[in-house]
Structure 1
Amino acid sequence: MDSVSDNLSGEVAALLAPLPSLQVQEYFNQLITSRSCNGIEVKQNLSNGKGVYAKSEFKEDELILKDQILVGIQHSSNKVDCLVCSFCFRFIGSIEKQIGRKLYFKNMGLSGCCDGEEDDCVKYNGNEEQCGASSSNHNSLPQEVVSSLMNGEMALPYTDKFPLPSPLSCPGRCQEAFYCSESCAKTDWETSHSLLCTGERSETISREALGEFIQHANDTNDIFLLAAKTIAFTILRYRKLKAEYVNKQAKQSVSKQSLLLEAWKPVSIGYKRRWWDCIALPDDVDPSDEGAFRKQIKDLACNSLELLKAAIFDKECEALFSLEIYGNIIGMFELNNLDLVVASPVEDYFLYIDDLPDAVKEEAEEITRPFLDALGDEYSDCCQGTAFFPLQSCMNHSCCPNAKAFKREVDRDGQAVIIALRRISKNEEVTISYIDEELPYKERQALLADYGFSCKCPKCLQDSSIA
């Protein structure tokens, strides 16, 4: 029983109600201006709700949009492979530190391949070199060499060509979040991390309860961490709006509900369905067991929410802690999220060494080859996670899209980058593919059914006539 939803049904309904179209338009116009992507606009679409349209012509391979993350996370298992800024997801440290950390965890028998095993998701801190590690890889290097890399005591040749920002610790001293700049640290703290930090300066109700919530998410589904970020983000926006209102000493009273709705506005824009209703049925679940599966998913969300409430509950924002809201937040991510991918500078480094003139390449490889051999195929692992991007999420699907998410050489953080696949005319809708558009028609339709629609793009209309 969701007592919050029952007691605050009006507030919950107001949070889930669609915004007036004028407010939606104003919000997206402001976003477009802030991102300096004035070649596009978001318009209401009779068949798909809303869509992104070209205000001017785009050429093939031209940048259409760089969209900043509203909320995003690096997958927990990926943290053993990549040390990145916890806010913008840019690689930090040094090439040596990146390689050293990776080898340290590999020597411990840990990797970032998340297959649900207990040891795959590892809590890490900034002092790995102080721990001992056993070697289980025949190409492993001595621990003292690995430690020297992480400590900055050993320099590899030509790493000065790949400078990375020095890691800055979390303001709350959790030793789990690191940043590329004071700006990223401050922004993350003020927008969500102050409530979700496990350090001594955390503003959470209970660090112990927060730790239990995080452990549950790591053991089950880290999409719960995104939901927690969203709720923390809204609570902190609400508190800021309330403080601003009090400081202005406004003569006209403003209700708690109106402040909460304003704080929630960036989240309200995303298309939502309850997670347990929209999640795709796994291949190993028989259709006759679908009801039991969806109840299991709902119970899982309920357990996660109870742990989160024990950690960051705010009475003035109580409606955010209803199972209905929690389910819709997670469902929004299930339906709208984009993979978060940032290429590794370690891969670029070894490719650079490989492209050196023979005379200097041989000398450099005498030093770098043992490290490359010890890393194996994992030398090129990139930062991986998931994120919600407010403008990108408005782009509708087509099996013959005219744009795609594609990181260029210069794109070194977590922003979504959308590139034109072909010439896009003025006033034409900008579309991307949510799935592998090369799949057969029936497979495409089955996958898209999980998103709640049947595709009627030109390719599907043609394929349906011969299917």
Structure 2
Amino acid sequence: MDSNDEAQIAYQKFTSGDYECAESLYAELLEKDNQNTEYLAHKAECNFKLSKFQTCLDDVKFLMSLNPADHVDAFISGGRAATKLEKYEDAYHCYKAGLKIVPKHKEIIEDLRELQKIIIKDVETKAAAYEERDYNAVDFCTQDPYPGDVDLFKLEVEILEKKYKIKTETFPQKPFDNLVQQQVANATLAGHNCMQAAKWKEAQKCFTMALQQDPNNYVVRRLRADASNNLDEITATFQDLWLIPKMKRTQDTWKLGGKMLMRFDLLVLAEFWFRKATQMTTGKDDEPKILFQKCRVIRLYGPLTTDCPIKVDFTEYGRAIYATEDIPEGETVFEDSPIVLGKVFDTVHYKTTIQSCDHCAQSLLSPQEYFMETFSTMESDLRDLVLKYWPNTKPIYCKNCKFVKYCSNDCRTQSWNTYHKIICPARSSATARLFKLSENLGKEPDETGTMVEVWDGHFSPLILARVWATIVTTAKSLARESGDIIPTKDQWAMAKSPYRKFIAYGNISVEKDQKEIKALFREIFSDCGDGVSYEITDAEYNGRYYQAVCNLQVFSSPWTPYHKFLEELGRAEEDEDRTLRLLKYLKEKPPASNVCGMFPLHACLNHSCLNNVEVSDGMVHGKGGVTVRAKRTIQKGEEIFTTYIDTAMPRKLRRAWLYKSFNFWCRCPRCQVEGDDADVCTKCGKKAPEGKKFPGCGKCMKAWYCSVACQKIAWKLGHKLVCSTEHSKTSYG
């Protein structure tokens, strides 16, 4: 029986409602033709009818990646399956794919409205008490000293003394008579009066007169520091603060000293002063904490932004990136390389990804994978032409496990020396299980042989394993360099330092629901060789998991073997005739080898529903990475914003989605000037009479006003900036 007959029987079973038989037949047909959209669509619908929701969703994601011109019903099934699984973002993308085919499909529009209600209700139920709470970024940041800070501290003190002539001295206590005391008091009062009148130079002179009589008067010395600070005399200001004994320094003294040290660019000392100020802080004064983190951000990111028109800063909402010069539309803002990478599980591209280097993500696309079945049917001389110019993409395997693939010996060696020696599947049954689990997208068979989900992350658990393995390898290397076997506390801290750049914020403790995979990680890292172990505590597990959740970015190397092939083919003048004949076999683009990675600079980008940059795949230092480009002209001093979600969604849905996925309520300019419903004035919050609706903005219909006055005020306050065609499109409702 040929495929056409089998397809006809499968369709008969499908239309008659025999979904189990039809699903089995379509599965067999797809083994022969795995990109047949009709087979895939009907199989997905069968799985939905059989309540196999995850399988249905997997089928629809694969179908979506093939960009079919029809099969709306399959996308509806996928959306409903994802909703049943509470995978609301997947549901949204399934419905969006259906609307691309039929833009005003009534059933999809109604399903999307219901989806919106479900998401909002879910978030309101779980987070009603927290909606408008203030997010305090400094609560999630430590002030622990870095390894090596003791030596840097001493070096910076030496710089203070030699470069800035800051003196460390003590003054003998003078005997005071009443006349001297009165002179000190008069000079101090005069200085204080000058300060009140903003006469800083005169105040400075008065305080100097007082200190000549009483050099150990630390109150006057602090006042003179204030006067010098207002005169912008940094060295004079700090000299007085430095001479105040530590036990006599107030919180404000430590804070002002830290600010001066920042201006000296002595950041380790500045951190020390801000740390002291923080320890003395009472109430809700977060300024010393924020200033401390500003120092730390300069230390961490200053070297990364040297050649970029940006700087990283720390605000009350956390790290942020700002333009240091005007950036024209379309210009590259920065490029970034991943510090760790791995597979993506939750992506519509997953089933169509091709093999890539396990270390650098370089595509290993072969001509057979690119041309697929047409490769065997094209003329033999054209096949010879392809093989002649297609670059060698034969993978190089790990010498031990013979499983993990690399693009070169260099990548294999780097991988082994960096992390792979710790987690190679040939090393133990536990590491072999971890790789198998990753290969099966987080699932493994239980005692009955049924595949069950052990890991529910949207990324491979190998990413966490690589982080820990890299830390272990680095710590062991540092120990060897110092003649030790077991790493010291400082060496462990040094090994962990690259990951300090990534926030780890989540409002639930995931380790409680991932006991099995946590136990597997603990087994693997309990013996890292040479008597070294790495303790994965509950806090460590939770922290690293959220580092990945909060920071991973999907990317793919944009320069594939296909592009290299075209480049070589373009130079081959002697094969021009065959090249012209080959054109009909060339598709628009090759399949992607999507992975995800943690990018140090990219991780500092904050979200806005009115984002001013776009993130795309890029080549960075000859390897795959990300390129961030200006979506519009960005002014000097403006914050750089990306978007974390599909911003075509209505405000209420966007905010609920952001809270559900990223644990914050968006207060970007767009969210502040758009409304949720026509029965509430977007500007003043006034409710419409029962059964009535307020008129909406005639341009975007995303804001409603109780009066012309409210509309005019809102327009001036910012609605004018966001009310444009680009930001008011919506696909439903």
Select the structure of larger CA radius of gyration.
2
Kept after mapping to 2: 8 A contact 1:271/1:336: yes
C-alpha distance in 2 between matches for 1:431 and 1:41: 13
Q: Which amino acid aligns with 2:359?
A: F
Structure 2: gaps (5+ residues): 1-139, 146-292, 443-456, 676-681, 683-702, 705-733
Change (3 A) 1:323 1:178: same
Q: Which amino acid aligns with 1:38?
A: C
After superposing the two structures, state which structure 1 stretch, 394-403 or 259-268, moved more: 259-268
Residue equivalent to 2:477 = 240
Residue equivalent to 2:360 = 88
1:384 to 553, 574, 594: 594
1:462 aligns with 2:677: no
1:32 to 305, 322, 346: 305
Q: How does 1:213-362 map to 2 (within 5 A)?
A: 213-217=434-438, 218-220=440-442, 221=457, 222-246=459-483, 256-274=488-506, 277=507, 298-299=511-512, 301-314=514-527, 320-343=535-558, 345=560
1:99 aligns with 2:367: yes
Q: How does 1:52-451 map to 2 (within 5 A)?
A: 52-75=321-344, 78=350, 81-92=353-364, 98-101=366-369, 155-157=384-386, 160=389, 164=391, 166-167=393-394, 169-199=396-426, 204=427, 206=428, 208-217=429-438, 218-220=440-442, 221=457, 222-246=459-483, 256-274=488-506, 277=507, 298-299=511-512, 301-314=514-527, 320-343=535-558, 345=560, 380-407=590-617, 413-449=623-659, 450-451=661-662
After superposing the two structures, state which structure 1 stretch, 447-456 or 23-32, moved more: 23-32
Structure 1: gaps (5+ residues): 1-14, 107-138, 279-293
Kept after mapping to 1: 8 A contact 2:478/2:487: no
Residue equivalent to 2:165 = none
- Count of residue pairs brought into register by the alignment: 365
C-alpha distance in 2 between matches for 1:430 and 1:172: 44
CA deviation after TM superposition for structure 1 residue 391, in Å? 0.9
Q: Secondary structure at the match of 1:324?
A: helix
Residue equivalent to 1:10 = none
Kept after mapping to 2: 8 A contact 1:342/1:412: no
Kept after mapping to 2: 8 A contact 1:74/1:383: no
Change (3 A) 1:177 1:42: same
C-alpha distance in 1 between matches for 2:634 and 2:505: 31
Kept after mapping to 1: 8 A contact 2:341/2:598: yes
Residues 192-247 of structure 1: CA deviation (Å, up to 9, x unaligned)? 12212224xxxx4x2x2101122233342443111111111111111122222338
Residue equivalent to 1:124 = none
Q: Which amino acid aligns with 1:321?
A: I
Residues 51-80 of structure 1: CA deviation (Å, up to 9, x unaligned)? 111222211111111111011113479598
Q: Secondary structure at the match of 2:556?
A: strand
Kept after mapping to 2: 8 A contact 1:343/1:383: no
CA deviation after TM superposition for structure 1 residue 321, in Å? 1.2
Residues 383-440 of structure 1: CA deviation (Å, up to 9, x unaligned)? 1121111110011111111111023699974312111111112222111111112221
Q: Percent identity?
A: 20
Change (3 A) 1:41 1:182: farther
Higher helix share: 2
Q: How does 1:43-58 map to 2 (within 5 A)?
A: 43-46=313-316, 48-58=317-327
CA deviation after TM superposition for structure 1 residue 81, in Å? 4.2
Residues 73-92 of structure 1: CA deviation (Å, up to 9, x unaligned)? 13479598423222221224
Change (3 A) 1:78 1:349: farther
CA deviation after TM superposition for structure 1 residue 351, in Å? 9.0
Residues 2-57 of structure 1: CA deviation (Å, up to 9, x unaligned)? xxxxxxxxxxxxx9845563344212123334xxx4322111112x1111112222
Change (3 A) 1:197 1:325: same
Change (3 A) 1:256 1:403: same
Residue equivalent to 2:180 = none
Q: Which amino acid aligns with 2:547?
A: M
Change (3 A) 1:224 1:193: same
Kept after mapping to 1: 8 A contact 2:559/2:619: no
Kept after mapping to 1: 8 A contact 2:370/2:591: no
C-alpha distance in 2 between matches for 1:61 and 1:171: 41
C-alpha distance in 1 between matches for 2:566 and 2:653: 37
CA deviation after TM superposition for structure 1 residue 154, in Å? 5.1
CA deviation after TM superposition for structure 1 residue 188, in Å? 2.1
CA deviation after TM superposition for structure 1 residue 267, in Å? 1.4
Kept after mapping to 1: 8 A contact 2:616/2:628: yes
After superposing the two structures, state which structure 1 stretch, 72-81 or 380-389, moved more: 72-81
Q: Which amino acid aligns with 1:301?
A: Q
Kept after mapping to 2: 8 A contact 1:339/1:387: yes
C-alpha distance in 2 between matches for 1:189 and 1:80: 28
Change (3 A) 1:81 1:458: closer
Q: Secondary structure at the match of 2:494?
A: helix
Kept after mapping to 2: 8 A contact 1:19/1:268: no
Residues 262-316 of structure 1: CA deviation (Å, up to 9, x unaligned)? 2111112211135xx45xxxxxxxxxxxxxxx8xx64553211222232332488
Q: Which amino acid aligns with 1:65?
A: F
Q: Which amino acid aligns with 1:67?
A: D
C-alpha distance in 2 between matches for 1:42 and 1:91: 32
CA deviation after TM superposition for structure 1 residue 381, in Å? 1.7
C-alpha distance in 1 between matches for 2:639 and 2:475: 35
Q: Which amino acid aligns with 2:554?
A: D
Kept after mapping to 2: 8 A contact 1:74/1:386: yes
Change (3 A) 1:193 1:423: same
Q: Which amino acid aligns with 2:336?
A: D
CA deviation after TM superposition for structure 1 residue 349, in Å? 8.3
Q: Which amino acid aligns with 1:84?
A: S
RMSD between aligned residues:
4.1
Kept after mapping to 1: 8 A contact 2:356/2:593: yes
Residues 351-400 of structure 1: CA deviation (Å, up to 9, x unaligned)? 999x9xxxx9995576676x77xxx99x7320112111111001111111
Q: Secondary structure at the match of 1:238?
A: helix
Change (3 A) 1:234 1:305: same
TM-score between both structures, scaled by the size of structure 1: 0.66
Change (3 A) 1:212 1:407: closer
Change (3 A) 1:447 1:351: farther
Change (3 A) 1:261 1:343: same
After superposing the two structures, state which structure 1 stretch, 57-66 or 37-46, moved more: 37-46
C-alpha distance in 1 between matches for 2:332 and 2:414: 27
Q: Secondary structure at the match of 1:155?
A: helix
C-alpha distance in 2 between matches for 1:191 and 1:85: 15
Kept after mapping to 2: 8 A contact 1:235/1:314: no
Kept after mapping to 1: 8 A contact 2:555/2:617: no
TM-score between both structures, scaled by the size of structure 2: 0.44
Residues 154-209 of structure 1: CA deviation (Å, up to 9, x unaligned)? 5344973xx6465562454433333334433332222212212224xxxx4x2x21
Q: Which has the higher contact order (CA 8 A, sep 6+)?
A: 1
Kept after mapping to 2: 8 A contact 1:170/1:179: yes
